[in-house]
Structure 1
């Protein structure tokens, strides 16, 4: 999906998410390309506070994105 679609999808997911899910999981926009996504998530995990939704654009070469969720580390909670 295009970036604007991913932003809308993330917004809807956050509105529907349970409080415990929000505390336990990151919900981010990531490049759809697997290699680019891995690089982005690796960089994101080093300092999540330094990233915003648009940060993923720096890692994406084809303007295709997806919304992904993954468990936060214990020290992040």
Structure 2
């Protein structure tokens, strides 16, 4: 999907998510390409506060995106 579609999809996902999901999972827009997505998630995971929704654009070569979620790292 295009970036604008992914942004709307993410907004809907955030509205529908319950509190435990929001506290324990990142819901992000990533490039649809698997390699580009993996690199984005790797960089994002190092410091999520440095990234905004549009940060994924510089990792994407074909203007195709997806919305995904993954468990937040816990600091024990």
Counterpart residue number, 1:60 = 60
Unaligned stretches of 5+ in structure 2?
A: none
TM-score (norm 1): 0.96
Cα deviation code 1:2-55 (max 9, x no counterpart): 000000000000000000000000000000000000000000011100000000
C-alpha distance in structure 2 between counterparts of 1:47 and 1:74, whole Å: 13
Give the deviation of 1:58 after TM superposition. Answer: 0.5
TM-score (norm 2): 0.97
Q: Structure 1 residue 43 and structure 2 residue 43: aligned?
A: yes
Task: Give the RMSD, CA atoms, in angstroms.
Answer: 0.4
Q: What is the 5 A alignment of 1:18-37?
A: 18-37=18-37
The runs of 4+ residues in structure 1 deviating greater than 2 Å are none
- Where in structure 1 are there 5+ consecutive unaligned residues? none
CA distance in 1, matches of 2:38, 2:46: 13
Structure 1 distance, partners of 2:73, 2:17, is: 19
